[in-house]
Chains A and B, each alone.
Chain A
Amino acid sequence: MAEALFSYLSDDILVSIFSKLDGSDPRHRAVLSSVCTRFCSLLRQHHRLLLPLPPSHHFPNDSTNTPEILLKLHFCCPGLLHAGVVSESGFGSEDPIGKRRKLCNQKEHLASGVWSLSREQGSKLLARQFRDDCLYICDWPGCLHLEEKRKYRLFRGVFVDFKETRVWKALNDGKNKVKRKVDVGGCAFCKSEESWDLHSAFCLRRVFGFHDDGEPVVRAFVCENGHVSGAWTDVPMYS
């Protein structure tokens, strides 16, 4: 009898029920999509209804921005590795007790902070000549990571139509093309292996400087699909 009931429940009813769940928590979607293939397919079909997307933008529904990737961009912190704060060789803490805990901060995890992306935040990041490019970044304060040296506020975001942007053109400008590619363990969102350092490519605002130890105040990395991972740090009091 119970099985029969499920087959009688129309897609409309199921979608209505899904839409009434607390949409701000991605774990619900993770659980529901694991229930059965029908739920997974409905969630994918109606993901725009269920996701807190900003009303003004429209992401083309293509392979570089699937529902799963868009979901991840909203809720998933890329972690210290993909945000370029630690390198793969520096993976893991020296302290044996802290080692396991630190490891989980270095890979992707549920972001703390605000779970929405805004274009305003994106345009604050870019140098003036790139302001026409459409970049969405998660809102301040990002996902806070307290490390030994300083606080890192990890952020993530995405360019709309990345291959049409001036940033993409700048990254692919002939002589500097290869130099700007970096290894941050791949993109946290689409697993693309190639990433570019936006800071050293002069795509970020000039006002972001460096700390005494040479670390940039703001760093950001972009993959070939326009997914951005990075970190803000507090501006030093004395330069």
Chain B
Amino acid sequence: MSGISDTERMITLKTVEGTLFDVKSSIAKDLKTVQAFIDDSDDDVTSPIPLPNVFTRELSRILDYLNNHHRFRSGIEKADEEMARYDAEFAKSMSHEELKALILAANYLNVKDLLEFLNQTVADVIQNKSVEFVRNFFGIENDYTPEEEEKLRNENEWAFNGVEQD
């Protein structure tokens, strides 16, 4: 596989802070927004591609994720186990703020697999949590009136009553 010019081509990306990242074109393919930009350009892209919505911290994490996943996939044994372990560590290493920021970046760059994984991670975080917790996590202001909240509480009450046996 080595020696084919396509896999050696490097793309340069520039974050909001002006940091430059050199990325292999095989990795860049997973950043579908970037790939679309490359495909739309008539000539070879030589100057850095600006990413006005992406910060250095997020791009660094995304590239780390993609590089590792590519590495696991090209390995022969135990790829699933290693990937699961890596993914678990990756999720744990971030605060809730960092997780949310990463989702926004992954969404902008259209990195499908990573986005699926991050959305699942958020689902795991908010599962079984209270209304207050979910509001804090997403930074949501309650926009229900007290009357509306009372109505919802009454309508949903049944879900929190289980049948009791003697």
Given A2-B97, A105-B164, is A34 in contact with B149 using a C-beta cutoff of 8 Å? yes
Task: State whether the Cβ of A146 lies closer than 8 Å to any Cβ in chain B.
Answer: yes
Could you tell me the distance in whole angstroms from the C-beta of A195 to the nearest C-beta in chain B? 18
Of the candidates A17, A27, A35, A143, the one whose C-beta lies within 8 Å of that of B160 is A27
Chain A's closest residue to B144 (CB) is A37
Task: State whether the Cβ of A207 lies closer than 8 Å to any Cβ in chain B.
Answer: no
Given A68-B155, A112-B162, is A6 in contact with B107 using a C-beta cutoff of 8 Å? no
Task: State whether the Cβ of B156 lies closer than 8 Å to any Cβ in chain A.
Answer: yes
Task: State whether the Cβ of B10 lies closer than 8 Å to any Cβ in chain A.
Answer: no
Task: State whether the Cβ of B101 lies closer than 8 Å to any Cβ in chain A.
Answer: yes
Task: State whether the Cβ of A32 lies closer than 8 Å to any Cβ in chain B.
Answer: yes
Task: State whether the Cβ of A8 lies closer than 8 Å to any Cβ in chain B.
Answer: yes
Chain A interface extent, by class? 35 or more
Q: Is the CB of B159 within 8 A of A75?
A: yes
How far apart sit A142 and B62, CA to CA, in the bound complex (Å)?
A: 48
Q: Is the CB of B131 within 8 A of A109?
A: no
Given A5-B104, A26-B159, A76-B158, is A104 in contact with B141 using a C-beta cutoff of 8 Å? no
List chain B residues, Cβ under 8 A from A75. 159
How far apart sit A71 and B42, CA to CA, in the bound complex (Å)?
A: 53
Identify whether the interface residues of A are mostly helix, strand, loop, or mixed: helix
List chain B residues, Cβ under 8 A from A28. 127-128
Given A2-B97, A35-B135, is A108 in contact with B140 using a C-beta cutoff of 8 Å? no
List chain B residues, Cβ under 8 A from A13. 103, 107, 115, 119
How far apart sit A201 and B164, CA to CA, in the bound complex (Å)?
A: 32
Q: Is the CB of B100 within 8 A of A5?
A: yes
How far apart sit A38 and B142, CA to CA, in the bound complex (Å)?
A: 10
Given A31-B134, A36-B143, is A9 in contact with B161 using a C-beta cutoff of 8 Å? no
Given A3-B141, A6-B139, A13-B107, is A110 in contact with B131 using a C-beta cutoff of 8 Å? no
List chain A residues, Cβ under 8 A from B138. 2, 5-6, 9, 35
Task: State whether the Cβ of A21 lies closer than 8 Å to any Cβ in chain B.
Answer: yes
Interface 0/1 of A140-151, CB less than 8 Å to B: 000111100000
How far apart sit A110 and B163, CA to CA, in the bound complex (Å)?
A: 7
Given A5-B101, A28-B127, A31-B134, is A36 in contact with B141 using a C-beta cutoff of 8 Å? yes
How far apart sit A107 and B156, CA to CA, in the bound complex (Å)?
A: 13
Q: Is the CB of B107 within 8 A of A146?
A: no
Q: Is the CB of A35 within 8 A of B159?
A: no
Task: State whether the Cβ of B85 lies closer than 8 Å to any Cβ in chain A.
Answer: no
Given A32-B134, A36-B135, A110-B158, is A16 in contact with B163 using a C-beta cutoff of 8 Å? no
Q: Is the CB of A110 within 8 A of B135?
A: no
Could you tell me the distance in whole angstroms from the C-beta of B32 to the nearest C-beta in chain A? 14
5 contacts between A and B (CB under 8 A): A6-B138, A9-B104, A17-B122, A35-B138, A35-B140
Per CB-CB distance, the 5 closest pairs between chain A and chain B, nearest first, are A2-B139, A20-B123, A109-B161, A30-B156, A108-B158
